[in-house]
Amino acid sequence: MLAALVASSPGHAADAAFQQWLAGLWPDAEKMGISRATFDAATRGLEPDMSLPDLIIPGRPERPSGRQAEFVQAPADYIKESSIEHLAAEGRKLLEQNRATLAAIEKQFGVPGPILLAIWGRETDFGRAKDSRSAIRVLATQAYLGRRKDQFRQELLIALKMVDEGDIPLAQMKSSWAGAMGLTQFMPSDYVRSAVDFDGDGRRNIWTSVPDALASAAKQLVDKGWQRGEPWAIEVHAPRNTDCTIGVPENTKPIGEWLRLGYTPAYGRKLSDAEMNIPASLLQPAGLYGPSFLTPRNYFVIKEYNFSDLYVLFVGHLGDRIAQSRGFETPWSKVVQLPTVQVESMQRRLTNLGLYSDKIDGKAGMKTRAALGAYQKANGLAVDCWPTTAVLEHMQSTAGRN
DSSP 195: -
pLDDT of amino acid 307: 81
Can you say how many angstroms the Cα of residue 226 is from the centroid of all Cα atoms in its chain?
16
Answer whether 63's CB lies under 8 Å from 55's CB: yes
The arithmetic mean of pLDDT across residues 64-73, rounded, is 54
pLDDT of amino acid 11: 41
The arithmetic mean of pLDDT across residues 38-58, rounded, is 92
3-class SS of residue 75? helix
For residue 131, pLDDT beyond 90: yes
Q: Give the integer Cα–Cα distance in Å for 255 and 70.
A: 27
Asked whether the CA dihedral 301, 306, 307, 313 is positive or negative, the reply is negative
Same fold, 2-61+132-179 and 69-129+210-334: no
Answer whether 336's CB lies under 8 Å from 218's CB: no
Q: Give the integer Cα–Cα distance in Å for 127 and 120.
A: 7
Q: Give the integer Cα–Cα distance in Å for 200 and 197.
A: 6
Q: Give the integer Cα–Cα distance in Å for 382 and 396.
A: 17
Q: Where are the alpha helices (DSSP H) in 167-209?
A: 188-194
Half-sphere exposure of 274 (CA within 13 A, CB side): 5
| CATH code, residues 2-61+132-179 | 1.10.8
Dihedral of CA atoms 265, 268, 273, 276 in degrees, nearest 10, equals: 10
Q: Quick one: 36 exposed, middle or buried, by C-beta within 10 A (0-12, 13-18, 19+)?
A: exposed
pLDDT of amino acid 8: 39
Q: Give the start-to-end residue ranges of the domains of the chain.
A: 2-61+132-179, 69-129+210-334, 340-397
Among 284, 310, 303, 238, smallest CA distance to 384 is for: 284
pLDDT digits (tens, 9 = 90+) for 197-233: 999 999 999 999 999 999 999 999 999 999 999 999 9
Q: Where are the alpha helices (DSSP H) in 200-308?
A: 210-223, 255-260, 273-276, 297-305
Q: Concatenated DSSP letters for 243-254?
A: -GGG-STT--EE
pLDDT of amino acid 26: 98
Q: Give the integer Cα–Cα distance in Å for 40 and 291.
A: 53
Residue 112 pLDDT level (bands cut at 50, 70, 90): very high
DSSP 280: E
Residue 1 pLDDT level (bands cut at 50, 70, 90): very low
Strand order in the sheet with 264-265: 253-254, 279-283, 292-295, 234-237, 264-265
Provide the whole-model pTM: 0.91
Question: Which of the pair, 1 or 328, is modelled with greater confidence?
Answer: 328
Q: What's the CATH fold of domain 340-397?
A: Muramoyl-pentapeptide Carboxypeptidase; domain 1 (1.10.101)
Q: Give the integer Cα–Cα distance in Å for 230 and 278.
A: 8
Least confident range from 136-140, 158-162, 238-242: namely 238-242
The arithmetic mean of pLDDT across residues 37-44, rounded, is 97
* pLDDT, averaged across the chain: 92
Angle formed by the axes of helices 366-378 and 340-352, nearest 10°: 60
Half-sphere exposure of 221 (CA within 13 A, CB side): 30
Answer whether 345's CB lies under 8 Å from 392's CB: yes
Residue 72 pLDDT level (bands cut at 50, 70, 90): low
Q: Give the integer Cα–Cα distance in Å for 8 and 80.
A: 44
3-class SS of residue 175? strand
Class of domain 69-129+210-334: mainly alpha
Residues constituting the chain: 402
Half-sphere exposure of 401 (CA within 13 A, CB side): 6
For residue 6, pLDDT beyond 80: no
Among 383, 360, 359, 357, smallest CA distance to 372 is for: 383
For residue 173, pLDDT beyond 90: yes
For residue 181, pLDDT beyond 60: yes
Among 70, 60, 67, smallest CA distance to 145 is for: 60
Report the amino acid identity of residue 216: S
Q: Quick one: 321 exposed, middle or buried, by C-beta within 10 A (0-12, 13-18, 19+)?
A: buried
The arithmetic mean of pLDDT across residues 36-62, rounded, is 88
The arithmetic mean of pLDDT across residues 6-19, rounded, is 59
